[in-house]
Amino acid sequence: MGLGKMQLLKKAKTVASGKMAQVSQAVKTRKTDDGTSKADELAQIYDEQKSELKDGSSDDTILALDIGTENVKAVIARQNKSGGLDIIGIGRARQASTNMYAGAIADIPAVVSVCEKALSQAEKMSGTTSKLTVVGIAGELIKGNTSTVRYRRKSGNKPLSEQEMALIIKRVQDRAGEQARQAIADETNNPDVEVRLINSAIVSISIDGYKISNPIGFKGTDVVIQFYTAFAPLVHISAIEKVCAELSLDLLAVAVEPFAVCRACLGDDLDSNFSGIVMDIGGGTTDIAVVDDGGVEGTKMFSIGGRSFTHQIAETLDVDFETAEKYKLAIKNPTKVPADIKDKMLVAIRRNLAVWLSGVEITLEEFNLTDMLPNKILLCGGGAGLNELQDVLATTDWFKELPFARRPVVHLVETADIPGITNTTDAVLDYSYVTALGLLRVALDTLAGVPEESGLRAKLAKLLQN
């Protein structure tokens, strides 16, 4: 890791330590029944855990915290000499049914408790602790769209500078933020709702009708930018910040989960011409992102995920939710599910698939793209492992009313497909961990920026960091 990156990591660690000291000081006055302070108890627990780890807290590690509806996943990684990331610790803990609602945190203390379990597993495996954290966010109130903005420069004969480009980006973000705030206000019937920018990226840019890869230094009057922005209600962000504070983590970034998955698929190739539709199917939501020629066209979500299939199975079989979930997870193993139960389960799954597929169609229609939709569909998330779901996308005519040039090809994304991130542990990582790997990529982008190369994304990434 370069000196500059190391200094950034150490600075973030210092900030985290300072915050922890403030928290400890604040709770010292709260005594327990035996006269000891809560801070003393916390310190004792922390010291005991730290003594079990080989190296204690590390300055060169990054933590990805994927707080999902069904599970919390914690992944600790360390940057290697080639600039990629080596995964050194993995943890997973199951959520209670009331912890999350439609992809958003509903019970902060309960979620903190589950996160602690996942973190402990990852730290024990890695032999170290990691404070620098990136957390994913999902849900229907996350507004991620690509807007086309036209900006007329006063002096077309003057070369476009980084300062002017930063001003243009700021104006675009402000305008998109107001649009997102209004959309969320309409959906929540709350005219005073506050929103915060989560992610932003330039999709394309042209000057006086000519598409260019890097606008800095070009002359021209008419600047047209396609710009992706994602906003979330402040209440959602505040819940994530509270969870991180309770866990004494330094929150480096919050990332829209389908955007993070796209970043994972693109890897280090910032000038990639990758095009595809990414579907992250979680427990409570299905998050969809459209990528065209390496640029994120937009991200959208709808509140149907793996849990809706489990509820349908529970209702059909007249069993409780936990039993239905076990049946669903075991459906691929004939020895674990009796034939008569399996037949009834398949009926329930197919019934729910029809509803889910309608959600996919409606969501893709909302993108309003000028070109055809990409014909590659990449699936990830815990719900993506359902064979029937993959089959219905790959074999039925659901796509006929959408702007596809031909039948889309469906591919289940495995962690081995993600460039630049290597699993050095003995644990097996499947498609359900792809989102966490995307969060690691966003963390690396946020910390280190990008190489100073000629591409558009390489030149402008620092202007886009929030």
Alpha-carbon torsion angle 140, 143, 146, 147, nearest 10? 130
Q: State the average pLDDT for the chain.
A: 81
Distance CA 466, CA 461 (A): 10
Cβ–Cβ < 8 Å for 185, 193: yes
pLDDT at 462: 43
**Secondary structure class of 291 (helix, strand, coil):** strand
Q: Is residue 337 part of a domain?
A: no
pLDDT at 178: 86
pLDDT at 5: 43
pLDDT at 438: 92
Q: Is residue 208 part of a domain?
A: no
Q: Is residue 28 part of a domain?
A: yes
pLDDT at 48: 52
Three-state secondary structure readout of 373-388: ECCEEEEECHHHHCHH
pLDDT at 50: 47
pLDDT at 174: 84
Q: Which domain holds residue 133?
A: 3-137
Distance CA 338, CA 214 (A): 61
Q: Is residue 383 part of a domain?
A: no
- 15 Cβ contact partners less than 8 Å away, ≥ 6 residues apart: 250
Residue 48: give its domain's CATH number: 3.30.420
Q: Is residue 78 part of a domain?
A: yes
pLDDT at 270: 55
**Secondary structure class of 137 (helix, strand, coil):** strand
Residue position matching structure tokens 């980006």 = 169
Residue-by-residue pLDDT tens, the chain, 466 positions: 444 444 444 444 454 444 444 433 443 433 444 454 444 554 454 455 444 444 455 668 999 999 998 999 999 999 888 878 999 999 999 999 889 987 889 999 999 999 999 999 999 999 998 889 999 988 778 888 777 778 888 888 999 888 888 888 888 888 888 888 888 888 888 888 888 888 877 777 889 988 887 788 899 999 888 888 888 888 899 999 999 999 999 998 898 888 888 888 877 665 667 889 999 998 888 999 998 877 788 888 888 998 899 999 999 999 998 889 888 888 877 677 788 888 899 899 999 999 999 999 999 998 877 778 999 999 999 889 888 999 999 999 999 999 999 999 999 988 888 888 999 999 989 999 999 999 998 888 777 554 334 344 444 444 454 4
**Secondary structure class of 396 (helix, strand, coil):** coil
Residue position matching structure tokens 């069904």 = 70
pLDDT at 318: 92
Sequence-distant contacts of 304-308: CB under 8 A, at least 24 apart: 304/355, 304/356, 304/359, 305/69, 305/103, 305/281, 305/381, 305/383, 306/69, 306/70, 306/281, 306/282, 306/381, 306/382, 306/383, 306/386, 307/69, 307/70, 307/283, 308/352, 308/355, 308/356
Q: Is residue 255 part of a domain?
A: no
Domain count for the chain, please give it.
1
Q: Is residue 246 part of a domain?
A: no
Q: Is residue 294 part of a domain?
A: no
pLDDT at 24: 39
pLDDT at 167: 84
Token pair recorded at residue 36 = 């000891």
